[in-house]
Structure 1
């Protein structure tokens, strides 16, 4: 058994304890924790041990693997999840939205149709609100259109921050000047305008569990999320995304992520780390783009 926690911090988990923590994290979140992450676990979970008054990882593991440990498992996943985001990150994706993906979807919405966009693994909502800014910049009639953005994340703290829509003033550095009209400066930072908050809804969601959403999405963003999953789980997720994409739907992934084109999906490349489903199937069996 480990010695008691020092007042100033926590000891590193043993190899066996790290292995067990990694197993729990994978089973409940699908996240692969590399064996060399002991110092990261020490830094992040040490705080949880101190908050709970636990003296060793053995006690903590007993808690998170028990029936009574559901809430703390969520805390553990939250602590071990990496949340890195910013407005207009990987801006080429938003240029593709503006030039290629959104114009026909806006036309569909103006003709009475609905448009649904999903920001999966949205962290604190900056990605979802960036999409909303692009939409609002392109469509002055946005409030009259049936366009909704769903933002989901496994971390309940990030979901709450997204709902609050209040960000540090330093985030202005990544927002182009013309887009800053969609935010207001407050004492606590900068807040997204009500018109944009009205089209974005936030919900907690584990991508490896059942998805409660009904209907299909025209656009899915899932960037810098699957890099933490095993290759097998990555492929499963790509296929699940395909199953909820509308014909001609778009999938945007992170800069170091790739959808295998020979992996049994119908997705095809449509730009830098951008993929798209065909609208229809041509007579020769290949995709037909419109």
Structure 2
């Protein structure tokens, strides 16, 4: 019989503060049951008797590895291919033609960042969209950076292999061109798509190693976990890393209203840098 661990108020506050300090993610009381379920598994795996012991481990000098595991445990990773499809329509019909016109007949540079890429459906969708718009890309220096806080999902994303049920949201023409079914029934994203993407773990609150500028940043359904001050800092950093008129795509439940004045709304949850 599995042990039932009680999550006391003080232990929950300690865990919430550590997560906030390390990631910027706010764990409200509404998340308590979720945290209890996710971390209860960690306690069983570690052979600990209660959450107080777990907190002492997190706070200890030897707790760095477990602090890392904590971040992976509390990060949620719900996503799908072609999620919020209007974003990819806009990328195809507005963003990429604009950049192509700017380049004219010269070789073009294109940089896109998928910030909070989860298990990789978003950057793979972006890459498919690029291939569909310009199949060869031979005359473009095109790269997609895909990052996430959770190191486990970054590894999954880089492998590019998914269960069969994830295939449903990929339109049939894209499946035919960019997906290969494996012997075990799972499917693999083809190399011509995966070769456009570089995957890396990254904590958005820490130093960013890339210098930009990016033409496009996707940061969708990420800032909903942050408080307003953290959101303001993050969007200001995005603005600094985008080209002066670059595009920012955010999630359907997110808004820049009263958060930053450095972007103007140009489409549904689509913004362009103005300052």
Please give the range of the TM-score, normalised by the shorter of the 2 chains: over 0.9
Sort the Cα spacing of 1:249 and 1:59 in 2 relative to 1 into closer, same or farther, 3 A. Answer: same
**Alpha-carbon distance change, 88 to 135 in structure 1, aligned in 2, over 3 angstroms:** same
Q: Match for residue 39 of structure 1?
A: 33
Over 3 Å counting, the alpha-carbon distance change for 1:9 and 1:151 in structure 2 is farther
Say whether residues 1:149 and 2:149 are aligned partners.
Answer: no
Whether contact under 8 Å (1:222, 1:253) holds in the other structure is yes
Distance 1:164 1:268 in 2: 36
Per the TM alignment, residue 94 of structure 1 is displaced from its structure 2 partner at its CA by 0.5
Of residues 158, 182, 185, the one that matches 1:186 is 182
State the aligned residue count: 272
The normalised TM-score by structure 2 is 0.95
Q: RMSD across aligned C-alpha pairs, in angstroms?
A: 1.5
Aligned counterparts of 1:161 and 1:26: Cα–Cα separation in 2: 25
Q: 2:39 aligns to what SS in structure 1? A: helix
Tell me, yes or no, if the aligned pair for 1:19 and 1:35 is still in contact at 8 Å. Answer: no
C-alpha change, 1:72 and 1:167, in structure 2 (3 Å) is same
Equivalent residue number for residue 240 of structure 1: 237
In structure 2, distance between residues paired with 1:79 and 1:50: 14
Q: Is 1:132 the counterpart of 2:130 in the alignment?
A: no
Question: How high is the TM-score relative to the length of structure 1?
Answer: 0.90
- What CA distance in whole angstroms lies between the structure 1 residues aligned with 2:35 and 2:266? 38
User: Is the CA contact 2:179–2:189 (under 8 Å) kept in the aligned structure 1?
Assistant: yes
Asked if the contact 2:217/2:248 (under 8 Å) is kept, the reply is yes
The answer to whether the Cα contact below 8 Å between 1:94 and 1:131 also exists between their aligned partners in 2 is: yes
Alignment of 1:1-290 (within 5 A): 7-107=1-101, 108=103, 111-180=106-175, 181-188=177-184, 189-260=186-257, 263-278=259-274
Residue 110 of structure 1 contacts residue 145 of structure 1 at CA under 8 Å; is this kept in 2?
no
Shift of 1:79: 0.7
Relative to structure 2, which stretch is displaced further, 101-110 or 202-211?
101-110
**Counterparts of 2:210 and 2:93, CA distance in 1:** 28
Instruction: Tell me, yes or no, if the aligned pair for 1:10 and 1:43 is still in contact at 8 Å.
Output: no
Query: Contact conserved, 2:112 with 2:214, CA < 8 A, in 1?
Result: yes
Question: Using CA pairs below 8 Å that are at least 6 residues apart, which structure has the higher relative contact order?
Answer: 2
Shift of the 266–39 alpha-carbon distance from structure 1 to 2, 3 Å rule, reads closer
Quote the Cα distance in structure 2 between the aligned partners of 1:43 and 1:213.
36
The 2-side partners of 1:56 and 1:12 are apart by: 7
CA distance in 1, matches of 2:96, 2:59: 45
Residue by residue, what CA displacement relative to the aligned partner does 1:216-260 show, whole Å, maximum 9, x if unpaired?
A: 100000000000000111111111111100021000000010012
- Structure 2's unaligned 5+ residue stretches are none
Q: Which runs of 4+ in 1 moved over 4 A?
A: none
